[in-house]
Amino acid sequence: MNELVLTLGWLGIYAPMALGAAASAIGCSIAGMASIGAMTETEGGYGRFVGVSAFPSTMVIYGIVIMFTLNRDVTPENAGGLFGIGILSGIALMYCGIWQGRACAAAINATKEKPEIFGLALAPAAIIEGFGVFAFVFALVISAGIS
């Protein structure tokens, strides 16, 4: 039984990193495909499209920081806490990354027609980034209570 609990603890430590990486990969690929499509139709502003498609890459950074914060000796006493915080923050980061990629793709699709709305079109992606930051910050705060 102890082995299973310890395994869950290690899973919790690495989950934010792994799920954050998956989130960034999926999000960046969604937004990246949108920017490639938009580049075939527009005459300029390619740098902006590529820049926007890198937005979801922050999720893996948050995941790495959470992983380092959770990283400690895993004991039967702290494994449950590590598992809970790690898995749930990882899932939150994953959703944020994927949907931020979709929001970025929509922004790219809209701004290829109307470049003047570039800033406003990024607002949904920025709001999703805020939710990712919430998941990140409060994972750090809560992890301070784990022995």
Partner 1 sequence: MSGQDAYIALMCSLPGSERLFVAKQPPLSRIRLDRRLTALTPEDAKALHVLEHALSWSAYDMDVTDAQAIQRCRQSLHDIPQPSLRKLFIERMEMRSAVAALRLRNRGEPVPSGSFGVGRWSRHIPANWGDPTFRLERPMPWLKEAHQLLDDEDPLGLERLLLSVSHTQLKRHAARHLFDFEAIAIYVLIWNIFDRWGQSSAAEAAKRFEKLAQQAMADVADIDFEGASA
Distance from the Cα of residue 124 to its chain's centroid: 15
Contact 104, 31 (CB under 8 A): yes
Kindly tell me which of 49 and 136 has the beta carbon lying closer to partner 1: 49
Joined together, the tokens standing for residue 8 give: 């869950």
Tell me which residues touch partner 1 (CB under 8 A).
Answer: 29-30, 33-38, 40-41, 102, 105-106, 108-109, 112-113
Quote the longest CA-to-CA distance of the chain.
Answer: 62
Q: Looking at beta carbons only, is 40 or 147 nearer to partner 1?
A: 40
- CB closer to partner 1, 41 vs 116: 41
**Within 10 Å of residue 113's Cβ, how many Cβ atoms?**
10
CB of 129 to partner 1, least distance (A): 19
Q: Cβ of residue 7: shortest distance to partner 1, in angstroms? A: 30
* CA 24 from centroid of its chain's CA atoms: 6
Least distance (Å) between residue 24 CB and partner 1: 15
By C-beta, is 71 or 109 nearer to partner 1?
109
**At closest approach, how far in Å is the CB of 65 from partner 1?**
28
CA separation, residue 106 to residues 75, 112, 139 (Å): 45, 10, 29
Question: What CA dihedral angle connects 42, 46, 51 and 53, to 10 degrees?
Answer: 40
